[in-house]
Amino acid sequence: AKTVHEQWDISYQFTHSDCVRKLAVTINGGTPGPTIRAVQGDTVVVTVKNLLMTENVAIHWHGIRQLGTPWADGTEGVTQCPILPGDTFEYRFVVDRPGTYMYHAHYGMQRSAGLNGMIVVAAAPGSADAEPFAYDGGEHEVLLNDWWHKSTYEQAAGLAAVPIVWVGEPQSLLINGRGRYNCSAMASDAAAACNATHPECAPQVFAVVPGRTYRFRIASVTSLSALNFEIEGHEMTVVETDGHYVKPFVVKNLNVYSGETYSVLIKADQDPNRNYWLASNVVSRKPGTPTGTAVLSYYGGRSSPRAPPPTAPPAGPAWNDSAYRINQSLATVAHPEHAHPPPPRADRTILLLNSQNKIDGRIKWAINNVSFTLPHTPYLVALKHGLLGAFDQRPPPETYNHTGYDVYGVQANPNATTSDGLYRLAFGSVVDVVLQNANMLAPNNSETHPWHLHGHDFWTLGFGVGRFDPAVHPATYNLRDPVMKNTVAVHPFGWTALRFRADNPGVWAFHCHIEAHFFMGMGVAFEEGIERVGDLPEEIRRCVSTKGGGH
């Protein structure tokens, strides 16, 4: 195993991701940042220098479990103090498993300002984790994103305002940081900032050799949008998700939620003399954003690689067809040769109701009526040093009124509170979490929430529509070949059940990956095995005075 070194300067730069000039948070001047490439077992060292001047930063390595290095998870408020302007911080961790992962800022709403990228880990030669599939054409990477012209400051202030100013639908969808805003639709005073021929917004071209099979690694770092991804005219065979091999299944288009990754295989077997669209479309919310596009082009064909395909970009499936999306969730199961069956039963079951509430006149998201806030002192530091005053010591509720709750009606959910309390899990225990979705404050409305667990992979045991019944639904769980993931969708008015082993000492966030939802309280935190965590690096504790803290 080797060490992969990255040296990153984080700074604000004017960029033209969708042809419109925007201040973005960049890595070494660009957004998205570079793909980190490593081999299973390698140590990744990223030296981050915060040159933002007026803003803190922290970077999360999404999908990397941080076994033995919980302080390198990059989650501000949970595992570290933020990296202050001018400071340098070194992330050092081992990538123990092959697969497709991502990284992104985990401070405020900075992820949507452009600080994101992919992590690709190849299987070590001879590893038992080698891919159970072959491709002779090579790999392409597809990073999906959504993009706003407003700054994240303006978005965050709007979300906290009374009345709320919602972030709204994105202006553009990006593929590998490239989108296409229609400059002529802008008011003339703003149009000066739009440059349709700026090289930064020229669509990405993916070149393929006729007859070969390619692996496309797809990741979504969207702030809000659930996306449907399609390669025009080419079926995709899904083979991996979140670093786990799946029983291959063929799709015309693929739903990808924020925080998820997939690998698909495609065969370059179409007419090589024309180009094809790669397209991303918003699903689950009523789309207000044009299709995100890139181009697939055949080597040796008669079409110039940059020529737009002769067709209109694919429009994707009906945005409100949740049954279509649940079917994909159900079709995603473990590859037979790489199934790790879950423990047969859980030691503890936590039912988490996702609801929208009003607290002091502000619209919030709450979990069992508790809207999550991050403590100033990171949990990891507070727990390790016995700083009990650092956060609410009352544990959040294990369940909600699950026999009487009407998930289809608008509920008052009175007495909701905000809290930074956390769940403490017995080390090594098996934990089931059932995420229950419900109606929001507006009638006949329920959204998709992609939940992401730090520090673990979980088994996805089941999905259902309506109210989860603990006396009935566990009998329907897939205990035979559930796929392991780190991010999973909770569908509108539905529930999702997952199981994990609390065997990674540390403190781990578990939250909706929609940036605005997490900001509005849609998350929880889990502690396990804190007594097994080694000495914390000094660098994560810079916002804490630990003098007098009980060592």
Q: Which residues pair with 120 in a beta bridge?
A: 37, 100
Taking Cα atoms as reference points, which of 524, 532, 526, 525 lies closest to residue 505? Answer: 532
Q: What is the DSSP string of 60-129?
A: EEET---TT-GGGS--BTTTBPPBPTT-EEEEEEE--S-EEEEEEE-STTGGGGT-EEEEEEEPPTT-TT
501 binds, among ligand C2O, Cu ion, none (CB under 5 to 8 A by kind): none
**Pair of tokens at residue 49:** 């220098």
Determine which residue in the list 21, 22, 62, 485 makes contact with ligand C2O, applying CB under 6 A: 62
Q: For residue 189, give every residue at least 6 positions away whose Cβ sits within 8 Å of its Cβ, in sequence order, or none.
A: none
For residues 220 to 259, the per-residue mask of contacts with ligand C2O, x marking binding by CB under 6 A and - elsewhere, is: ---------------------------------------x
In this structure, the strands spanning 484-485 and 458-465 are antiparallel
Determine which residue in the list 16, 21, 22, 60 makes contact with ligand C2O, applying CB under 6 A: 60
178 lies in the binding site for ligand C2O (CB under 6 A): no
Nearer to ligand C2O, 96 or 515 (CB): 515
End-to-end Cα separation, the chain, in angstroms: 35
366 lies in the binding site for Cu ion (CB under 5 A): no
449 binds, among Cu ion, ligand C2O, none (CB under 5 to 8 A by kind): Cu ion
* Bond preceding residue 32 cis, omega within 30 of 0: yes
435 lies in the binding site for Cu ion (CB under 5 A): no
Q: For residue 297, give every residue at least 6 positions away whose Cβ sits within 8 Å of its Cβ, in sequence order, or none.
A: 205, 206, 207, 208, 275, 276, 303, 305, 307
Range in contact with ligand C2O (rule: CB under 6 A) among 121-129, 228-236, 506-514, 540-548: 506-514
- What whole-number distance in Å separates Cα of residue 504 and Cα of residue 66? 8
Determine which residue in the list 511, 515, 528, 533 makes contact with ligand C2O, applying CB under 6 A: 511
Range in contact with ligand C2O (rule: CB under 6 A) among 24-32, 180-188, 416-424, 508-516: 508-516
Contact present, 51 and 59 (Cβ < 8 Å)? no
Nearer to Cu ion, 22 or 513 (CB): 513
Q: How far is the CB of 60 from ligand C2O (least distance, A)?
A: 5
175 lies in the binding site for Cu ion (CB under 5 A): no
Taking Cα atoms as reference points, which of 91, 90, 81 lies closest to residue 378? Answer: 81
Range in contact with Cu ion (rule: CB under 5 A) among 103-111, 284-292, 458-466, 517-525: 517-525
517 binds, among Cu ion, ligand C2O, none (CB under 5 to 8 A by kind): Cu ion
511 lies in the binding site for Cu ion (CB under 5 A): no
Determine which residue in the list 97, 106, 385, 456 makes contact with ligand C2O, applying CB under 6 A: 106
Taking Cα atoms as reference points, which of 276, 133, 278, 296 lies closest to residue 215? Answer: 133
Contacts of residues 412-415 at CB distance under 8 Å and 24 or more positions apart, as own/partner, are 413/355, 413/357, 413/366, 413/369, 415/369
Determine which residue in the list 509, 524, 533, 544 makes contact with ligand C2O, applying CB under 6 A: 509
For residues 419 to 458, the per-residue mask of contacts with ligand C2O, x marking binding by CB under 6 A and - elsewhere, is: ---------------------------------x-x----
Residues 319-378 that bind ligand C2O (CB under 6 A): none
Count of CB atoms within 10 A of residue 4's CB?
16
Nearer to Cu ion, 382 or 453 (CB): 453
Determine which residue in the list 295, 517, 523, 526 makes contact with Cu ion, applying CB under 5 A: 517
Nearer to Cu ion, 296 or 512 (CB): 512
**Pair of tokens at residue 272:** 């090589």
512 binds, among Cu ion, ligand C2O, none (CB under 5 to 8 A by kind): Cu ion
Determine which residue in the list 364, 449, 511, 541 makes contact with Cu ion, applying CB under 5 A: 449
Contact present, 11 and 52 (Cβ < 8 Å)? yes
Contact present, 82 and 57 (Cβ < 8 Å)? yes
Q: How far is the CB of 312 from ligand C2O (least distance, A)?
A: 33
Contact present, 47 and 6 (Cβ < 8 Å)? yes
21 lies in the binding site for Cu ion (CB under 5 A): no
Q: What is the DSSP string of 433-501?
A: EEEE----SSTT----EEEEETT--EEEEEEEES---TTTGGGG---SSBPEESEEEE-TTEEEEEEEE
Nearer to ligand C2O, 247 or 454 (CB): 454
Q: How far is the CB of 128 from ligand C2O (least distance, A)?
A: 27
Total number of residues binding ligand C2O (CB under 6 A)?
11
Contact present, 14 and 22 (Cβ < 8 Å)? yes
Residues that bind ligand C2O (CB under 6 A): 60, 62, 75, 104, 106, 259, 452, 454, 509, 511, 513
Residues contributing to the site for Cu ion (CB under 5 A): 449, 512, 514, 517
